[in-house]
Amino acid sequence: MTTTTLERPRIATPAEWLAARKALLKKEKDLTHLRDALAAERQALPWVRVEKNYVFDAPGGKKSLADLFDGRTQLAVYHLMFGPDWAEACPSCSMIADGFDAATVHIAQRDVSFAAISRVRLPKIEAFKKRMGWRFPWVSSHDTTFNRDFHVSFTKEELAAGNCYNFGTASHPGEEAPGLSFFAKDESGTVFHTYSSFGRGVEDILPVYTFLDRAPRGRNEAGLPFSMAWVRHHDRYADGHLADADRPYWPAFDAPDPGPIKRSAAAKADSSCCHGENH
């Protein structure tokens, strides 16, 4: 648990606070209307037919991308960072995944199914899923090109060239990246890709930041080697342990642990594994 000294702004009277809050409320309402308009534009994007027959390793046997719809016409996929050689999944992706079980029950009522997809082999997925206590569908794309085709896994050459992530607008610190993709299936069973979001675009499904952004000190990440250096798997906050010594899900920084303030040039450029300064 982290505690800090809370720096207080100007102390106001109740009337002064109410006036300031109403001024802010107008801006919040403007943002809500902009968000509604943006959502409508997302839904109006053209669709792209998925030509490849992706087949994933799933509990109980193979499943195609079409199978993941589970009888519904829409599918949400979270590209969960878990590389083939990693001991555990990305801590930041895991923090997001902590909310999936609750959400999937509700989105199913609106004709949306959900699955997480990672490049690690299925036995590691199943073991980590058990450790975390998760129940949501999670499959392995190890023997497919799915991750590369949807631009969440990269070769060393692509990373060196830069601008391989977020529709060619940003670099990325590692070979695995997070993302959120949506698909639709028509009456004939044809699958279409409708939307993807990367970088800070996945923050909308991270309720932890929704809470913190309303707290007096906000996310309180200033001075960290990169923005999400404080995040751990939910069973590791007591000891801070990370099983992968090389921390492949983090950008490089000039310290053996995330406590020191000094950031490397790479960390400044890439910011963090899941929520970089690019959106």
| pLDDT of 1 | 57
Instruction: Decide if 84 is inside a domain.
Output: yes
| CA atoms of 126 and 132, how far apart (whole Å) | 10
E-only strand ranges, the chain: 48-49, 55-58, 61-64, 74-79, 112-118, 138-140, 179-185, 191-198
- The verdict on residue 17 lying in a domain is no
Residue 98: which region, alpha, beta or left (left: phi > 0; alpha: psi -120 to 50)?
alpha
Judge whether 195 lies within some domain.
yes
Supply the range of the domain harboring residue 105: 48-205
Q: How many CA atoms lie within 13 A of 77 on its CB side?
A: 28
User: Which pLDDT score, from 0 to 100, does residue 266 have?
Assistant: 41
CATH of the domain at 89: 3.40.30.10
Whether residue 168 lies inside any domain: the answer is yes
Q: In this predicted structure, what is the pLDDT of residue 240? A: 94
What local confidence, expressed as pLDDT, does residue 277 receive? Answer: 54
Predicted local confidence at residue 139, as pLDDT: 98
**Is residue 176 in a domain?**
yes
CA pseudo-torsion sign 151, 157, 160, 163: negative
Please state, in angstroms and rounded to a whole number, the distance separating the CA atoms of residues 115 and 133.
16
Q: How far apart are CA 264 and CA 7, in angstroms?
A: 28
pLDDT at 255: 55
Q: Are 65 and 54 in contact (CB under 8 A)?
A: yes
Three-state SS at 185: strand
How do the pLDDT tens digits run along the chain, 279 residues long?
566 667 778 899 999 999 999 999 999 999 999 999 999 999 999 999 999 999 999 999 999 999 999 999 999 999 999 999 999 999 999 999 999 999 999 999 999 999 999 999 999 999 999 999 999 999 999 999 999 999 999 999 999 999 999 999 999 999 999 999 999 999 999 999 999 999 999 999 999 999 999 999 999 999 999 999 999 999 999 999 999 999 999 988 655 555 433 334 444 444 445 555 556
User: What's the pLDDT at 6?
Assistant: 72
| Token couple for 179 | 């993302």
In a domain, 68, yes or no: yes
Buried b (16+ CB within 10 A) or exposed e, 254-271: eeeebeeeebeeebebbb
Q: Flag whether 41 is in a domain.
A: no
- Residue at 78 is within a domain: yes
Q: How many domains does the chain have?
A: 1
CA 268 vs CA 183, 226, 250, 253, 264: distances in Å:
34, 7, 12, 9, 6
